[in-house]
Amino acid sequence: MAAVEERTSVRAEARYVRTAPRKAQLVAEQIRGRSVPEARTILAFMTRDAARDVERVLYSAVANAEANHGLDGDELYVLTATVGSGPTLKRWRARARGRVARIKKRTCHITIALALPEEQVIPAPLPKPAPVVTPAPEPEAEAVEEEKEEAPKPKRAPRKKASETAETAEEKPKRAPARKKAEAVEDKPKPRSRKATPKAEAAEKPKPKTTRKKKAEDS
């Protein structure tokens, strides 16, 4: 009968991180063997870009220990911090004389394991909470809903036929026809005429016509 191995560490891993393995490995060496609060302080003040990626993995490992095993993150220490190389993305760059140069975009896998001091045994994972089951609706409520659905809808009033609508239209009194525009103009009172002035009378009188013969006799 195979013996069940006791767990002594809690780990977290980040795969395909877009950082060179050598750069991430230099950061991982600084926190290996240190306590979690000390490792957090070192990574927070480190100026390397890879420190941000390692810090995320450390926080993930602490969250796994607290949520799954009920441990206190400040009591743990970094047991192992390893960095493995991942696939390399190859790109090209133009160079002199029509040549190209290769650009290697390297990736890595970061793994961090936490453990209790003096290699204490990690407790078993906490039991998962039972799924919440919604209570079934009461049968009375279902019966009431079915009755509402089965109740007939009120009938609409029958529509009137075209002949009935024509009869009702004939019964209505007709409106008086509107006056024509000419009648309306005649009904309006005419404006009073002003007294004729001597200048107006002179302008209204026609001038006598003079012919060429009369002009010659006069001369």
pLDDT tens profile 20-67: 999 999 999 999 999 999 999 999 999 999 999 999 999 999 999 999
Rounded to whole angstroms, the Cα distance separating 105 from 126 reads 41
Domains and CATH numbers, the chain: 10-117 (3.90.470.10)
Query: What is the model's pTM?
Result: 0.58
What is the predicted pLDDT for the residue at 97?
A: 95
